[in-house]
A and B are shown apart, each in its own frame.
Chain A
Amino acid sequence: MTLQCLFDKYGYSNVEDDVNGEKTGLFMNYFYDEDDKKPSELMGIYISKNQDELFIVLNGEEKIDMKLCYEWDLKIRDFIIFGSENRKKLEGLKYNVIQLVLFQNDIEDRTEELSLNISRKIFLRCTINENGEIFLDSDEELEVPFYLIEPDDLEMDQRLIEKLKQYIPKEDSSLNFLSKIRKKANKKTKSFLKKEYDLIERWLTEDENRKD
């Protein structure tokens, strides 16, 4: 599956063209260059369905000067401060911006990936075809934070299911202790009935947490 499809499947949409924030209320031009052009390394800005997470997909080989992540951190920081009229949205996004940096060749230097400043960084190996589709290398999908391993890949353990079913209580009166029973108070004696007293004593003496 391509990265773009993966995003789509989990409800993320690409908003890199939303310059004036018409769709999202977020000004994407903060991620552009000084002359307001999209930087060549930018391959997409994906926002989650609830607009609380932002993935910035970058081509790690476009700029080989190892400061790509740092420069983008500055843009992200400026965006988090000024990038919208909606302060609540920006606050929600502040700690949830992730740079997904793509490499087609071997990744030589992973030091920037360790940086937790401003944004998290994830380096991924992939192949990009001439249509711009991004095919992640095997197992790299697991690195993508929202990727869930498909449940149909797993088999249900029927034996366990049966055993667990046995532990679920059946419908009988032993569950009555869960409900409230309102009793009329004995106004004459104002004391417990003997069988109630026995129950209480049993509870107290058999309580393993009681203090001795």
Chain B
Amino acid sequence: METYFTDEVYQKFETMYEGDKARDASAKVRGFLFQDLIAIEFLLENQVQHVFLEFLEDIDVAYEDGRFEVIQVKYYPKKNPDMKEIITDLYYQYLLFDLLNGDRVEVVKIKPHLVIHSDKVVNKPDLTKMRGYIGEVLANRPDSLKDVEVQLRTIIPKMKKDEQRQKVFSSWAYEKSLSDFLDDFEIIPKDNIRQLQDTIEIKLEKCFSICDVADGMQENRRKILMGLAVIFIQERYKTGEEGVQNIRVSKADFVDYIQNQMKMYSDKSIIAYIIAVVTEEYEAIITENDDLSEEQRISLNAIYKNTVEWIGEECSKIDGQFRIVNTLCTDTYEQILEFGNKDAAERLLVIAGCKENIKIFLRYLWKVIFDIYSGGGVSHEAENGELLKPQNYIDKSKLNYICIHFPQDCVETSVILPPAYGVFKSRKNNHRLRLMKEKPRKWFMKCDSKLAGKHEYDYSTAEIVEKDSVTNLNKDNFIIECMQCVKIDEHEWTKIDDCKNCIFAETCIKGE
């Protein structure tokens, strides 16, 4: 297919990218989920050829008609965006591309956009404001542009970001480019992240509608589509190699990928399904807690992405799927034993059946990890990132359930279980009874504080132990934590729970 994006054009992009590559020294987890969803949305649009992730800007989109959008994506539910920073970054790209074209008229046109979710009204700046951001500019387009490319490749990458802007603007910025920029600049407001997900699910369904879907699988299919789209985007961040080819995602590849995966149910469908569930839960937390600071959102984003990686790996094998189901599903032991003999579609149904329990599991796991990270972390910056990985808290030697080990805890093995409701139902909770076989030393299970406390897997009728006595924790007894101190609801995520003195302590502070 004919394309306006020739090698030459890419050369220019690479030159521009060269300067920016070095500036981001801190190894943060890349790509806030909101950004990934926007990228997916673009991949579903007509006329899109390629989407670039964190290339020149947060997202860049190459269209069949030669438009090249450079897009900043911002998620600021409560805060005013820093327009000066946004404008200067976008104008920088805009100007450089113009300069690198020299005297030729280039078909490819740069379109600078801001995609933003905010409850504040965001307006385009006027020319005066623009001048204020950029500083003094030349009246006319500079003549001698030959050394622009050279400088971009050699001198400019060595400078800090502010200095780069300063250098480029003072040397080459000119009046007409400012006004052209403002003409091309667009602000695109977006709904919150959960609404965005819903929008995308509908678009995905329209795009990939499959005729024969078994009853009851409709909802699951939507989730699988969503999960596949998320996997597709997030895989791109993993390729460690630099270069445009790896950061670039083609719409054609995306469509192929999804269509192939949707042909039949497989372990991949299960992975996609569960990733969609994880993604949904993360979105719910972000939406319900719009008072989180940017830093907190970044940490949670890291926890979310690490979880996607961990759970994707777990679900790639049947025994990993079994672990999840054995811990969180309310079927009986005999039913669960049959899990390994089921085919992928049936296994998917079992997993879909415990979707709500999976979500609660994630909430508690994430909040505790978040508490550990926020409550001091460790002294070495580099190690802090490790705190945000669920994988580091899981005891892989326990094959039958998701065994968690928080180092700060007073026990070696623990499990996070769905809640026993405030009024315990007489219905036996089968997953609890299954866990009695595994004997984890601590159960994180939201319940009435009466159920919380020490219990025993084994005891003798000849040795009566007073309930409140300070017994040493041994392998025959275990603790149920009521989890009332760990706050996971709306607007509670900015509060850091003092885990050391509640769920990690031997006695419940609410204990009788």
- Residues of A at the B interface (CB closer than 8 Å) are 19-21, 27, 29-30, 34-35, 74, 77-78, 81-82, 85, 87, 91, 94-95, 97, 116-120
Contact = CB atoms under 8 A, between A and B. Distances in A.
B428 A30 contact: yes
Contacts of B3: none
B511 to A, nearest CB: 12
A95 B461 contact: yes
B384 interface: no
Contacts of A116: 460-462
Nearest to A73: B458
Interface stretch (B47-55, B149-157, B185-193, B429-437): B429-437
In this complex, the interface size class of chain B, counting residues with CB under 8 Å from chain A, is 20 to 34
A82 B459 contact: no
Nearest to A35: B332
A95 B430 CA distance: 24
Nearest to A88: B450
Contacts of B460: 116-117
A29 B426 contact: yes
Interface string B393-418: 00000000000000000000000000
A90 B39 CA distance: 57
B211 interface: no
Nearest to A19: B426
B461 A87 contact: no
A9 B455 CA distance: 35
B464 A81 contact: no
A94 B466 CA distance: 11
B158 to A, nearest CB: 66
B424 interface: yes
Contacts of A78: 428, 433, 436
B380 interface: no
B257 interface: no
B424 A117 contact: no
B461 A118 contact: yes
A77 B457 CA distance: 7
B206 interface: no
Nearest to B464: A95
Nearest to A18: B426
Interface in B26-73: none
Interface string B444-463: 00001011000111111110
A34 B334 contact: yes
14 contacts: A19-B426, A27-B426, A35-B332, A77-B456, A77-B458, A78-B428, A81-B455, A82-B429, A91-B467, A94-B459, A117-B459, A118-B459, A119-B461, A120-B461
Contacts of A87: 450-451
A133 B436 CA distance: 36
B411 to A, nearest CB: 17
B424 A85 contact: yes
B333 interface: yes
B423 interface: yes
A87 B480 CA distance: 14
Given A34-B334, A87-B451, A118-B459, 18 more contacts: A20-B426, A27-B426, A29-B426, A29-B428, A34-B332, A35-B332, A77-B456, A77-B457, A82-B429, A82-B451, A85-B450, A97-B461, A116-B460, A116-B461, A117-B459, A117-B460, A117-B461, A120-B461
Nearest to B467: A91
Given A29-B428, A78-B436, A85 B423 contact: yes
Contacts of B333: 34
A117 B461 CA distance: 6
A82 B424 contact: yes
Contacts of B458: 77, 117-118
Contacts of B420: 82
Given A118-B458, A120-B461, A21 B436 contact: no
A114 to B, nearest CB: 11
Nearest to B334: A34
Interface in B435-493: 436, 448, 450-451, 455-462, 464, 467
A61 B111 CA distance: 84
Which 3 A/B pairs are nearest by Cβ-Cβ distance? A27-B426, A34-B332, A20-B426
Contacts of B462: 116
Contact of B436 (A19, A74, A119): A74
Interface string B326-363: 00000011100000000000000000000000000000
A202 B424 CA distance: 71
Nearest to B478: A81
A176 B308 CA distance: 89
Contacts of B334: 34
Contacts of A97: 461
Contacts of A119: 461
Contacts of B429: 82
Nearest to B430: A34
Contacts of A27: 426, 428
Contacts of A29: 426-428
A87 B427 CA distance: 17
A85 B430 CA distance: 17
Contacts of B451: 82, 87
B332 to A, nearest CB: 4
B464 to A, nearest CB: 6
